[in-house]
């Protein structure tokens, strides 16, 4: 019964096929495919047709029916072969690509071998230290960066300072305020208005039929406003530890109130975190995020992460009214040429690049890190971001975009 489907005759065999189909679809669903009743109806049609005579053809037919995006398309063949094939039936089927499972698996992988989910670790750690660390020099900072191991983070967890009501509220209020100011942008799509830029001929004539077609009342079209899209790339490497927690909350607020916003986290690699950040509850969002940020001591490969972004995400998340906000100290362990090239590429794509560097707020800081220097020529706004206040200072700039 594991042989290639064969539906000559709507007999017992036919019934078995339909049963098998249902369980195949369940498997697909487990693997993150969006298949519903309509698809199953069509699929039974396919099974009854001559497309079902050859395995390869049937596979192609079901593939095009059940897939709806490239990721589906790529994994379909394996799932199909595993299910209908000579290999063990149910063994190979769970590719673990069901949206949720995939994410968890990815988190686990990123976070290192074993994580105790009970512990709220990671991002929130060291604001407390910020109080007396502020004037430590460059060298000291690097040491800290290298020492950002998992254990240190886990043991030094301190959420108190940041989960302090006031700070959260301030960050949220700020994000909401930024959002309100930035939300509206001009778009080319127009809608009818009583006053506007162009005459809406259609409505004008309709309205003036009663005047025998003499256009007495004019109706207008006006540009519809389109929201600015904000893409945030947050450096979550060891050297940024002191600030990450604040920014994560800030980003959470931004994603909450912007209709269009995307967030990415990077350290040694780039992670798309919009999903985790959309979690309504701040603490749960943070929990999911802290998994992503753990166990990634060592340096940041900003250039490489930007390359990943440019190659795989930029086209989808960036449009002409996008502002890319990079929050990082610019300590790149990769070659500055990569950084230069990728920043140039990025600058060509989006409207504005804002680089927030918490270290500008420090006394005597000059952007001397190699990576930072390479990136500077492509940045539209290079601003400090070490305190809520400095973030608030950004507002007027962003509002003008």
Partner 1 sequence: MGYIPDRELPVALQLMEMLGRPLLLEGEAGVGKTEVAKALASIHATSLIRLQCYEGLDQSTALYEWNYQRQLLAIRARELEGTDSAALERDVFSERFLLERPLLAAIRRSDRPVLLIDEIDRADEEFEAFLLELLSDFQVSIPELGTIKASSIPRVVLTSNNTRELSDALRRRCLYHYIDYPDVERETRIILARVPDISASLSSQIATMVENVRKEGLRKVPGIAETLDWAAALVGLDVRNVRDDPETVHQTLRCLLKTQEDRARLTPEVSARLLGKVA
Report H helices in 183-335.
201-207, 241-257, 274-277, 282-293, 302-308, 314-317
Q: Where does this chain touch partner 1 (CB under 8 A) — which range of 284-292, 296-304, 315-323, 329-337?
A: 315-323
- Report the run of H or E that residue 138 belongs to, with start and end: helix 138-146
Q: What are phi and psi of 149, to 5 degrees?
A: -85, 170
319 in contact with partner 1 (CB under 8 A): yes
Residue found by looking up tokens 């950004």 in the block: 394
Interface region with partner 1, contact rule CB under 8 A, candidates 121-129, 296-304, 311-319, 330-338? 311-319
Q: Which residues contact 4 (CB under 8 A, 6 or more apart)?
A: 54, 55, 58, 84
- Considering the rule CB under 8 A, would residue 304 count as an interface residue with partner 1? no
How far apart CA 179 and CA 257 sit, in angstroms, is 6
Q: Using the rule CB under 8 A, which residue among 25, 28, 61, 293 binds partner 1?
A: 61
> What is the closest distance, in whole angstroms, from the C-beta atom of residue 316 to partner 1 in the complex?
6
Question: x/- site string to partner 1, residues 184 to 223, per CB under 8 A?
Answer: ---xxxx----------xx--x---x--xx----------
CB of residue 401 to partner 1, shortest distance in Å: 18
Under 8 Å between Cβ of 177 and 395: yes
Contact between 70 and partner 1 by CB under 8 A: the answer reads yes
CA angle 294, 299, 301 (to 5 degrees): 100
Based on the shown chain and the rule CB under 8 A, indicate whether residue 376 belongs to the binding site for partner 1.
no
Residue 113 sits in the site that holds partner 1 (CB under 8 A): no
**Applying CB under 8 A, which of residues 9, 11, 37, 56 lies at the interface with partner 1?**
56
Judged by beta carbon, residue 60 or residue 168, the one nearer partner 1 is 60
Element (DSSP H or E) covering residue 337: helix 336-349
The 150-169 contact track toward partner 1, x by CB under 8 A, reads --------------------
Binding residues for partner 1 restricted to 74-103, rule: CB under 8 A: 74
Contacts of 244 (CB under 8 A, 6+ apart): 123, 234, 235, 236, 293
DSSP state of 300: B
Q: Which residues bind partner 1 (CB under 8 A)?
A: 34, 36, 38-39, 42, 45-46, 49, 51, 56-57, 60-61, 63-65, 67-70, 72-74, 187-190, 201-202, 205, 209, 212-213, 315-316, 319, 341, 345
């Amino acid at each position: 019964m594991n042989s290639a489907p064969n539906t000559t005759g709507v007999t017992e065999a036919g019934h078995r096929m339909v049963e098998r189909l249902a369980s195949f679809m369940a498997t697909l669903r487990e693997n993150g495919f969006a298949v519903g009743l309509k698809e199953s109806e069509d699929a039974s049609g396919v099974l009854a047709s001559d497309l079902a005579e050859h395995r390869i053809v049937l596979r192609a037919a079901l593939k095009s029916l059940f897939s709806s995006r490239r990721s589906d398309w790529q994994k379909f063949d394996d799932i199909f072969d595993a299910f209908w094939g000579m290999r063990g039936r149910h063994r190979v089927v769970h590719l673990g690509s069901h949206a949720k499972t995939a994410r968890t698996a990815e988190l686990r992988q990123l976070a290192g071998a074993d994580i105790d989910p009970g512990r709220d670790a990671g991002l929130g750690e060291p604001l407390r230290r910020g109080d007396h660390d502020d004037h430590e020099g460059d060298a000291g900072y690097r040491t800290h960066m290298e020492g950002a191991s998992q254990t240190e983070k886990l043991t030094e967890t301190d959420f108190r300072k940041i989960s302090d009501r006031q700070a959260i509220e301030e960050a949220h209020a700020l994000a909401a305020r930024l959002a309100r100011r930035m939300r509206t942008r001009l778009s080319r799509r127009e809608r009818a208005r009583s006053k506007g830029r162009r005459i809406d001929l259609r409505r004008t004539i309709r309205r003036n039929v009663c005047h025998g077609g003499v256009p007495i009342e004019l109706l207008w079209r006006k540009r519809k406003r389109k929201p600015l899209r904000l893409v945030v790339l947050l450096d979550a490497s060891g050297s940024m530890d002191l600030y990450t927690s604040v920014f994560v909350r800030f980003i959470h607020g931004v994603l909450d109130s912007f209709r269009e916003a995307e967030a990415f986290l990077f350290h040694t690699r780039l992670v798309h975190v919009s999903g985790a950040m959309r979690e309504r509850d701040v603490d749960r969002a943070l929990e999911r995020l802290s998994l992503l940020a753990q166990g990634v001591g060592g340096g940041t490969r900003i250039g490489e992460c930007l390359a990943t972004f440019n190659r795989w995400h930029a086209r989808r998340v960036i449009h002409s009214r996008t502002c890319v906000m990079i929050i990082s100290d610019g300590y790149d362990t990769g070659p500055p040429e990569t950084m230069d090239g990728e920043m140039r590429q990025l600058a060509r794509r989006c409207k504005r690049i804002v680089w927030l560097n918490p270290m500008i707020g420090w006394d005597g800081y000059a952007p001397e890190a190699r990576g930072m220097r390479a990136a500077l020529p492509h940045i539209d706004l290079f601003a400090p971001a070490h305190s809520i206040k400095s973030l608030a200072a950004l507002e007027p700039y962003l509002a003008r975009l």
